[in-house]
Amino acid sequence: NAGVMQNPRHLVRRRGQEARLRCSPMKGHSHVYWYRQLPEEGLKFMVYLQKENIIDESGMPKERFSAEFPKEGPSILRIQQVVRGDSAAYFCASSPPRTGGAGTEAFFGQGTRLTVV
């Protein structure tokens, strides 16, 4: 049973380009969360999705950032027109349906390290 899979592990983008980060949740998990981590700031919640629905995007910047979790395929975090300040580790976590919300049984992927040059 594979864990939460994120790809790519490392992504380098020039300022102004688009970054697309993918997350495949664990089998049977229908809840996906995206977090951003900076060394001085810890883990910051961005968005919580269920299949085809955004449940809570209160942590997501209003501009340039979007997320989706389609019926088929991985969840995608998309950052348009990246800036240097977007450089961070982005983690995806998933949890099974019965926990809901920011479930106590959230399992994390290995993260995508985005570097904007």
Partner 1 sequence: QKEVEQDPGPLSVPEGAIVSLNCTYSNSAFQYFMWYRQYSRKGPELLMYTYSSGNKEDGRFTAQVDKSSKYISLFIRDSQPSDSATYLCAMSVGAGNNRKLIWGLGTSLAVNP
State the nearest-atom distance from the C-beta of 102 to partner 1, in Å: 4
Q: Which helix (H) or strand (E) holds 114?
A: strand 112-116
Which residue's CB is nearer to partner 1, number 14 or number 39?
39
Please name the residues in contact with 50: beta carbons below 8 A apart, sequence gap of 6 or more: 30, 31, 32, 69
Among 7, 55, 68, 87, binds partner 1 (CB under 8 A): 55
Does 100 contact partner 1 by CB under 8 A? yes
Interacting span for partner 1 (CB under 8 A) from 13-21, 39-47, 62-70, 72-80: 39-47
- CA dist 8 and 50 (Å) reads 22
